[in-house]
Amino acid sequence: MKLELRGITKRFGALVANDHIDLVVRPGEIHALLGENGAGKSTLMNVLYGLYTADEGQIILDDVVQHFRGPGDAMAAGIGMVHQHFMLVPVFTVAENVMLGHETTRFAGSLDLPRARAHVREVAARFGFEIDPDAIVGDLPVGVQQRVEIIKALASDAKVLVFDEPTAVLTPQETDELMGIMRALREDGTAIVFITHKLREVREVADRITVIRLGKVVGEAEPTATNVELASLMVGRAVELTVHKDPPQLRPGGLIVEGLRVLNADGQLVVNDVSFAVQPGEVLAIAGVQGNGQTELTEAIIGLQQNVIGSIRLDGVELLGKNVKQVIDEGVGFVPEDRTVDGLVGDFTVAENLILNRSAGAPFFRAATLDLGVLRQFADDKITEFDIRTQSAESKADELSGGNQQKVVLARELSRPLKLFVASQPTRGIDVGSIEFVHKRIVETRDSGVPVIVVSTELDEVSALADRIAVMYRGTIVGIVPGNSPRETLGLMMAGELPNEVIA
């Protein structure tokens, strides 16, 4: 089935999230929709799926104009969506999940479990993947759960299948498998919309690429386009993608973590006997699929976790047992993984956010009152130095874009003498141009002789920054390998396996 979007416009108040977007996706085509965070990709797909009504424009399937009043209409017309946040019931089996939500389609009216089971087997065989219809969904790895979502979409006879950022939660191997499934679906004549901001994936699997920026289609590209070409289209200016990095100049001292164990609020052992060291002048990246203990590990270092045993020594000083303020005062800089929760106070001005964690005392406080002149000068200097795009130092942090909020956090954390810098998902949700800037500052920090820990689920980021890579899986460090280790090795480790060449 051919999908045509013509002049789709969707406004949220004054914001034009989709501005006269045209898109044609043919049967048997994988069409990548590429754009930065906030470009309007999900909005467009929500319009297509009947979740939003467009203010202007038409959805046309095989030359027939559609009028969707909700997802039920869209599904009935043959549109399927593989959600990033799975909509599955974890205590149900695969077949039961596939059966759910198909009141309007082929399982209509009956809870026909044998049919659902047969359907699961049939789809799995057709597209060459393995799945047990009777497995409990909650027990399955994320990549397999995603296949259940795909089978579910196919159960409603989807001829147009939308994947909205499907690889965000997958290991590299699971990503490869998903690409294989997408290719098989293409062979089968399905029209596929593949949304992502990862250039590598687009170039690998897409037949055609449409780039959107700020709600508008800004260009079409061939899969043969280079990463630099695609990135430049996404951000609207030339960008440099490679981080220049000299070999590390290691110095003595730094952080030594030994036998670290963290119990979370539910009493689960989420960090289990973790040991590693980071020397001044190097970047240790901690890689892994989201949710394997990385968050709790960094929180334990910074003093945010309650139930921790082991030892965390920084230049000989034990950090374990200190609270966050004491750890910061020891010279630890921290970029939290969610800047909007832990990194910034949205209601405060940019200037106020730039001194959030400073103790009362010089230079900002004199006789317990804030010295506004000094603060203003400091803020203006940082805004220039970190290229923070804001109307002024008095703008509220909330009003800044994600990339600029992240620069505020970085500017604050890197503007005092540090003995350790810990950056968790430093570029999550920020644009390609800001990523380049953040990476440069991290490398500069390392070169100034600070031990740096970067936690990232993005392997491209890990490879760009790391001198050494520790891979976490289910609370443990599977191994620590050189920064230039191949993706396949890292991917296996992210699934908990230790490849032979690493053991040797």
3-state secondary structure of 155: helix
Closest to 481 in 3D by CA, of 472, 468, 464, 467? 468
Of Mg ion, ligand ADP, none, which one does residue 402 interact with (CB within 5 to 8 Å by kind)? none
Q: Smallest gap, in angstroms, from Cβ of residue 24 to ligand ADP?
A: 19
State the Cα angle at 219 between 218 and 224, rounded to 5°: 145
State the Cα angle at 468 between 462 and 469, rounded to 5°: 50
Max CA distance (Å), the chain: 77
Of ligand ADP, Mg ion, none, which one does residue 37 interact with (CB within 5 to 8 Å by kind)? ligand ADP
What residues line the site for ligand ADP (CB under 6 A)? 12, 15, 17, 35, 37-43
For ligand ADP, the closer CB: 37 or 340: 37
For ligand ADP, the closer CB: 216 or 358: 216
For ligand ADP, the closer CB: 17 or 274: 17
- CB neighbours (10 Å) of residue 169? 19
Of ligand ADP, Mg ion, none, which one does residue 311 interact with (CB within 5 to 8 Å by kind)? none
Closest to 319 in 3D by CA, of 311, 329, 308, 307? 311
For ligand ADP, the closer CB: 41 or 159: 41
For ligand ADP, the closer CB: 127 or 194: 194
Of Mg ion, ligand ADP, none, which one does residue 281 interact with (CB within 5 to 8 Å by kind)? none
How far apart, in whole angstroms, are the C-alpha atoms of residue 140 and residue 143? 8
Q: Smallest gap, in angstroms, from Cβ of residue 48 to Mg ion?
A: 13
Of ligand ADP, Mg ion, none, which one does residue 38 interact with (CB within 5 to 8 Å by kind)? ligand ADP
Enumerate the H helices of 8-88 as residue ranges.
41-48, 71-76
Please name the amino acid found at residue 281: G
Q: Smallest gap, in angstroms, from Cβ of residue 156 to ligand ADP?
A: 23
Q: What is the DSSP string of 418-443?
A: -SEEEEESTTTT--HHHHHHHHHHHH
Contact in structure between 315 and 364 (CB atoms under 8 Å): no
Contact in structure between 9 and 171 (CB atoms under 8 Å): no
Closest to 217 in 3D by CA, of 26, 57, 34? 34
* 1-9, 42-50, 109-117, 283-291 -> range binding Mg ion (CB under 5 A): 42-50
For ligand ADP, the closer CB: 38 or 254: 38
Q: Smallest gap, in angstroms, from Cβ of residue 18 to Mg ion?
A: 12
Structure tokens at 114: 């044998």
Of Mg ion, ligand ADP, none, which one does residue 15 interact with (CB within 5 to 8 Å by kind)? ligand ADP
Closest to 158 in 3D by CA, of 40, 258, 25? 25
Q: Smallest gap, in angstroms, from Cβ of residue 42 to ligand ADP?
A: 3
Q: Smallest gap, in angstroms, from Cβ of residue 135 to Mg ion?
A: 29
Q: What is the DSSP string of 183-243?
A: HHHHHTT-EEEEEES-HHHHHHH-SEEEEEETTEEEEEE-TTS-HHHHHHHHHTS----PP
* Residue with smallest beta-carbon separation from Mg ion: 42
Q: Smallest gap, in angstroms, from Cβ of residue 49 to ligand ADP?
A: 12
For ligand ADP, the closer CB: 35 or 281: 35
Phi, psi of 215 (to 5 degrees): 85, -5
Q: What DSSP state is assigned to residue 484?
A: T
Q: Smallest gap, in angstroms, from Cβ of residue 197 to ligand ADP?
A: 8
For ligand ADP, the closer CB: 42 or 298: 42
Q: Smallest gap, in angstroms, from Cβ of residue 482 to Mg ion?
A: 34
Contact in structure between 74 and 80 (CB atoms under 8 Å): no
Contact in structure between 156 and 105 (CB atoms under 8 Å): yes
For ligand ADP, the closer CB: 25 or 94: 25
Query: With binding defined as CB under 5 A, does residue 42 bind Mg ion?
Result: yes
Q: Which residues bind Mg ion (CB under 5 A)?
A: 42
